[in-house]
């Protein structure tokens, strides 16, 4: 995807047998995702409209153009959906779209290179920055909190982190 689009949700698979899907919305107001159509997938598929038909545990139940059977819906399981950035509201101060953080260089408070943001995850408690450093086999998950990440400078393409001791190799 390009920087002109922002990930707004992920399809969790089929809901029933008539083509409805479970859609996890990443929007502050989950059902606002329908306002940002058309939605796109990374492989180029477009959904001109979606209709929210219900709510399930941690997901919306939606109808998407072209998804008419359980099999169609199951093929989309795990697929992220993107919206055009110009349809999205601008983030508030100290808020960021995940897409803006991916690829930023991460430095510690002493200026040492910690790596690059590979992805941003949220498993409930807080956002996590997955940091990859060249030459290392594994990545590090850094809590995206004010204490651990005091500075984000998108214009300069850098993040200053104050990670918990021992989180990064060679600390």
Question: pTM for this structure?
Answer: 0.71
Q: What is the architecture, at CATH level 2, of domain 5-86?
A: Beta Barrel (2.40)
Residue pair 147/162 in contact by the 8 Å Cβ criterion: yes
Give the H or E element holding residue 72.
helix 70-75
Please state the domain extents for the chain. Answer: 5-86, 98-161
Residue 140, beta-bridge partner list: 131
Fold equal for 5-86 and 98-161: no
Q: pLDDT digits over 6-37, tens only?
A: 889 999 999 999 899 999 998 878 999 999 99
Q: pLDDT digits over 36-72, tens only?
A: 999 999 999 999 999 999 998 889 999 999 999 999 9
- List CB contacts of 48: < 8 A, sequence separation 6 or more: 37, 38, 65
Q: Output the CATH code of domain 98-161.
A: 2.30.30.240
């Amino acid at each position: 995807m390009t920087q002109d689009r922002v990930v707004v949700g992920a399809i969790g698979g089929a809901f029933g047998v008539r083509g409805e899907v479970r859609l996890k919305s990443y929007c502050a107001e989950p059902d606002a995702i329908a306002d940002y159509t058309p939605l796109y997938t990374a492989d180029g598929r477009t959904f001109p409209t979606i209709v929210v038909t219900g709510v399930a545990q941690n997901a919306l139940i939606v109808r998407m153009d072209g998804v008419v059977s359980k099999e169609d819906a199951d093929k989309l399981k795990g697929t992220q959906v993107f919206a055009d950035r110009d349809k999205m509201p601008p983030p508030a101060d100290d808020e960021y779209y995940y897409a803006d953080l991916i690829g930023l260089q991460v430095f510690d408070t002493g200026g040492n290179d910690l790596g690059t943001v590979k992805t941003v995850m949220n498993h409930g408690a807080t956002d996590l920055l997955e940091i990859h450093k060249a030459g290392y086999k594994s990545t590090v998950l850094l809590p995206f909190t004010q204490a651990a990440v005091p500075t984000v400078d998108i214009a300069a393409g850098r993040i200053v982190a104050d990670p918990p001791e021992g989180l990064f190799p060679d600390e």
